Amino acid sequence: MIWWAAAGGMVGTLARYGLGMWVGKRFGTAFPWGTWIINISGSLLLGWLYGEFTQHNLSPALWMLLGTGFCGGYTTFSTFGYESLQLMERNEYRRTAVYVLSSVIVGVAAAAVGYIIS
């Protein structure tokens, strides 16, 4: 079962890297849009997957591949913390507050929406 998580994690990590690079080039790096978009979309996806798995009793191997593996490799709480610290070090307290609060509030809301639409 661990191999399913590893395979999903590899794909999720590559997706995070690719999307993060694209968003950074497209929107700049003054605000950590890449990580924000990745974490919100990952929360939406994980909420949807959770709904699908709880309502349709899908395979545990599929959960390991997509939920634990892909979503775990795709989303990044550690980068969220690191980028929050960087904003604070630059004395961008308002931007830090917006980033932290919107990440948590919108992330949880996205997970709920994902669950509801499953």
Establish whether 75 is an annotated binding residue.
yes
- With a cut of 90, say whether residue 62 has pLDDT above it: yes
> Is 72 known to sit in a ligand binding site?
yes
Long-range contacts of 93-102 (CB under 8 A, 24+ apart): 95/30, 95/31, 99/31, 99/32, 99/36, 102/36
Tell me the per-residue pLDDT of 72-112, one tens digit each, with 9 for 90 and over: 999 999 999 999 999 999 999 999 999 999 999 999 999 99
Handedness of CA 21, 26, 32, 33 (dihedral sign): negative
| Whether the Cβ atoms of residue 87 and residue 72 lie closer than 8 Å to each other | no
Contact 83, 96 (CB under 8 A): no
Residue 58 pLDDT greater than 90, yes or no:
no
pTM value surpassing 0.85? yes
